[in-house]
Amino acid sequence: MSAQTHTQALARPLQADRAAEWLIALGALMIGSGGVLLGVQVDANRGFSGTGYAAFALGGVIALVSTIVRARGSQGLPRDFHGAFAALAAFLGLTFVAGGVLAPGGPWMFAEFAVLLMLAMRRPREGSRWISSGALWLMVALFVFRLWITYQGGRNHWQVLSVPIPILSWLPFDFLAPIQSVSLGSFTPWELGLPPAGVDFPITLGLWTGGFALCSAGIFVVQLAAREHENDRVHDVIHTLPAPLAGLVERLLPEEEWETLGLHGLATRMLCKRIEALVRERAQRQRDITAAVDRAHLLRLSHTDGFSGSIQSAIVDFESGADRRAEE
């Protein structure tokens, strides 16, 4: 029985490792496919052409700034091929998505770039993902805006919106046409980078929407897989210890806390030292608590009601539990 259990215990980390590898590859495939779809447009003659490098380059800047901001103060780095590939895939995914939501050129592109850059420079919450839900919603809004101006350009309407002026626009006189409406946010065909034959909007809309969805989902999958992969690394290091000791370490340092404790992305030697320091710190804290409980034993229960009574009751429960464990 014990031999079989031991074999199963050895097999488990290997399976987990492969699952993370597979998820990284799957997420990267999604990001790659999405990047291709976001990079093409179809013209009226059903010909394909690229969306250009201007917005893509600015997307790369946003991804770079976001990565630097998130990596600041952390010593973690990808330590093996799969970790590095996951980081590369996530970086490219963010570049594709950011480049895909920006207007292809002109002042609108720079205005959107400034908004995204401000968002990328914000310090993220501890443990938050590379794309927070707020950033994702902003990107969705910018993406819809890009689709809208492409639609307007496809109809030869070179402004974001044409607002009719009340009363004037109701009068059926041709000579009033120039002052019957106000154009908001004008742009040019050159800024949109539309092909000479005009864009086939329905097909291009389908390609870009599919690309955006694939890239966003791919980034999410790669992030999860990279985290799982790093957890597997920490798990492997802990399980080089004898099994009972490894179990004790995992009770002191639960897996859910490994990322926040800074165990991800450390070199193996650093990882061992960090685990050793954390175990020492937590064991010491455990001893301190036990000693504090022993001292509290001297205090007889003097209050049985209210907040003080509840705390004393909890300590008594802890103490009796500790006694039972000691007897066992």
Partner 1 sequence: MPVSLKSPLAARVAIVLASALFLFALVVRGAKPAPMLRPEDQPTEEPRIEQPMQLLARGAALRVGELDRWITKEQLPEWKAVRGSVFSLAGCPETLDWIETAEGQRFERCVASLRSGTRDEAFAALVLVFQLARSTEWKPGMLGHTQHAERVGALLEGWLRAWSGRAAQDPLLVEPSLAALLLYGRVMRVAWRAPVVGYNAAPYERARALISEVVGESAGRTEFGQAFSTRHPTAARSLASSLDILEGFEDECATLYPKLSGDCEER
Which residues sit at the interface with partner 1, rule CB under 8 A?
Answer: 18-19, 21-22, 24-26, 28-29, 31-33, 35-36, 38-40, 43-45, 47-53, 56, 85, 89, 92, 96, 151, 155-157, 172, 174, 177, 195-198, 201-202
Helix (H) or strand (E) holding 94: helix 81-101
Q: Is 70 or 157 the residue whose CB approaches partner 1 more closely? A: 157
Give the whole-angstrom CA distance, residue 273 versus residue 271.
5
Q: Is 85 or 108 the residue whose CB approaches partner 1 more closely? A: 85
Q: Is 96 or 108 the residue whose CB approaches partner 1 more closely? A: 96
Q: How far is the CB of 51 from partner 1 (least distance, A)?
A: 6
**Beta bridge partners of residue 181, listed in sequence order:** 164
Q: How far is the CB of 131 from partner 1 (least distance, A)?
A: 18
Q: Is 155 or 303 the residue whose CB approaches partner 1 more closely? A: 155
Q: Is 89 or 135 the residue whose CB approaches partner 1 more closely? A: 89
Collect all residues with Cβ–Cβ distance below 8 Å to 212 and sequence separation of at least 6.
Answer: 34, 38, 97, 100, 101, 143
Q: What burial letters (b/e) apply to 33-58, b meaning 16+ CB within 10 Å? A: ebbebbbebbbeeeeebebeebbbeb
Q: 267 — alpha (psi -120 to 50), left (phi > 0) or beta?
A: beta
Q: How far is the CB of 99 from partner 1 (least distance, A)?
A: 8
Q: Is 134 or 206 the residue whose CB approaches partner 1 more closely? A: 206
Structure tokens at 128: 């938050």
Q: How far is the CB of 267 from partner 1 (least distance, A)?
A: 23
Q: How far is the CB of 31 from partner 1 (least distance, A)?
A: 7
Q: How far is the CB of 86 from partner 1 (least distance, A)?
A: 10
Q: How far is the CB of 294 from partner 1 (least distance, A)?
A: 51
Give the whole-angstrom CA distance, residue 38 versus residue 48.
12
Q: Is 188 or 286 the residue whose CB approaches partner 1 more closely? A: 188
Q: Is 2 or 8 the residue whose CB approaches partner 1 more closely? A: 8
Cβ count within 10 A of residue 125 = 8
Q: In this structure, are residues 185 and 97 in contact, taking their beta carbons and an 8 Å threshold?
A: no
Closest residue by Cα to residue 218 from 122, 100, 115: 100
Closest residue by Cα to residue 151 from 210, 90, 202: 202
Q: Is 99 or 265 the residue whose CB approaches partner 1 more closely? A: 99
Read off the DSSP letter of residue 124.
P
Give the whole-angstrom CA distance, residue 236 versus residue 233.
5
Q: How far is the CB of 87 from partner 1 (least distance, A)?
A: 13
Q: How far is the CB of 52 from partner 1 (least distance, A)?
A: 6
Give the count of alpha carbons within 13 A of 211, CB side only.
27
Give the whole-angstrom CA distance, residue 260 versus residue 78.
16
**At which residue do the structure tokens 């966003």 appear?**
216
Cβ count within 10 A of residue 104 = 23
